[in-house]
């Protein structure tokens, strides 16, 4: 794991990870603990035994129904010095549930934390989908005016704007990490690559002599980043001085756009299966972006961070854990 910038550490700090049993949360809790922090993870579906990790405490709470007062009591009781918001909803929810989990929850967090006499830092984990369409051949910088085209992107942008407004007014020590498409070990099946890894595992078990995979059109190019590199970036943001990161948006990605077809073909190769790919006709009602690539220079300047894992090693780790 890449250490935060020299001379800074999260050791001994009290950290609350929201969404502790989600994809990112399952990696963040143990990583903060390994770095010497006192860690509490919070999740609606979490019992302490669901994703056990030595030294990491777990609390079950419906964050979307908690409200500012209960959240403030949670942070005060935990003595929180740092709150990482890895909670939210991406797949399999209604638009109303998505808005509540991604936008309204963050409004509650900001209100709760601004009311505390000792204000923790809030690290809001945002998304590349907040930007909307990228420009083919170039990376999107943090100065780009966001224009999201999906409900998820719009909800995440509302959340980011709330954190940034509070931070820039002095009401909050907050930073937004705007993260590319995450992959690597444990990628959830709701995502393209996670779902593909799960389907490949089922095909392997079925021992079909002529396996076929039907997928949506693979025309887009995406910025993919390994979950372990994202964890390193969060640790670096946690340790950075407030005068460097408070009120900032910082892109976290690979800095490259990879054709989705290439990523799919490499994941299939890692599975060891001779699979025939069949692409469905394009869904004309689908709203999405053809090009996503983040400019990550700012992360290097402010956090001393850069990704260390290439996409092929991430896909290998995903295939091994599916």
pLDDT band at 281 (very low <50, low <70, confident <90, very high): confident
Distances (CA, A) of 186 to 104, 208, 279: 27, 25, 25
Note the helical H segments in the chain. 23-34, 67-78, 95-99, 105-114, 151-168, 192-206, 227-239, 242-245, 260-271, 297-303, 311-321
The domain defined by 14-183+224-255+294-302 folds into Rossmann fold (3.40.50)
Strands 181-183, 224-226: pairing is: parallel
pLDDT in tens, 170-209: 999 999 999 999 999 999 999 999 999 999 999 989 888 8
Q: What percent of the chain has pLDDT over 90?
A: 82
Whole-number pLDDT of residue 7: 42
pLDDT in tens, 209-239: 888 999 988 999 999 999 999 999 999 999 9
pLDDT in tens, 134-151: 999 999 999 999 999 999
Whole-number pLDDT of residue 1: 39
Phi, psi of 255 (to 5 degrees): 80, 10
Whole-number pLDDT of residue 92: 82
Residues 268, 272, 275, 279: what is their CA dihedral angle, to the nearest 10 degrees?
0
Q: Which two tokens stand for residue 251?
A: 């892109």
Domain ranges of the chain: 14-183+224-255+294-302
pLDDT in tens, 14-49: 999 999 999 999 999 999 999 999 999 999 876 544
Q: Is 100 helix (H, G, I), strand (E, B) or coil?
A: helix
pLDDT exceeds 80 at position 8? no
**DSSP for residue 147:** -
For residues 73 and 69, give the distance between their C-alpha atoms in angstroms, rounded to a whole number: 6
**DSSP for residue 177:** E
Q: Which residues participate in catalysis according to the annotation?
A: 152
């Amino acid at each position: 794991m890449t250490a935060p910038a020299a001379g800074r550490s999260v050791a001994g700090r009290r950290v609350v990870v929201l969404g502790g049993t989600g994809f990112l949360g399952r990696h963040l809790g143990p990583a903060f603990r390994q770095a010497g922090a006192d860690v509490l993870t919070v999740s609606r579906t979490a019992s302490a035994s669901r994703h056990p990790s030595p030294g990491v405490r777990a609390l079950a709470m419906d964050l979307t129904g908690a409200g500012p007062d209960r959240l403030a009591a949670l942070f005060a009781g935990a003595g929180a010095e740092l709150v990482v918001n890895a909670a939210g909803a991406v797949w399999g929810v209604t638009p109303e549930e998505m808005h509540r989990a991604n936008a309204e929850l963050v409004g509650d967090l900001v209100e709760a934390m601004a009311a505390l006499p000792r204000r923790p830092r809030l690290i809001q984990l945002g998304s590349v989908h907040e930007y909307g369409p990228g420009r083919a051949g170039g990376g999107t910088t943090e100065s780009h005016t966001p224009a999201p085209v999906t409900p998820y992107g719009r909800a995440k942008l509302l959340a980011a704007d709330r954190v940034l407004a509070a931070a820039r007014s002095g009401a909050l020590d907050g930073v937004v990490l705007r993260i590319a498409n995450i992959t690597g070990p444990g990628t959830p099946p709701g995502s393209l690559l996670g779902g593909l890894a799960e389907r490949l595992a089922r095909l392997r078990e079925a021992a079909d002599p002529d396996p076929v995979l039907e997928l949506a059109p693979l025309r887009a190019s995406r910025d993919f980043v390994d979950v372990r590199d994202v964890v390193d970036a969060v640790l670096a943001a946690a340790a950075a001085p407030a005068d460097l990161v408070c009120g900032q948006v910082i892109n976290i990605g690979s800095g490259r756009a990879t054709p989705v077809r290439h990523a799919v073909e490499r994941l299939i190769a890692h599975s060891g299966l001779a699979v025939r790919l069949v692409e469905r006709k394009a869904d004309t009602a689908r709203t999405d972006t053809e090009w996503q690539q983040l400019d990550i220079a700012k992360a290097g300047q402010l956090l001393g961070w850069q990704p260390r894992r290439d996409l092929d090693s991430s896909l290998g780790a995903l295939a091994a854990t599916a």
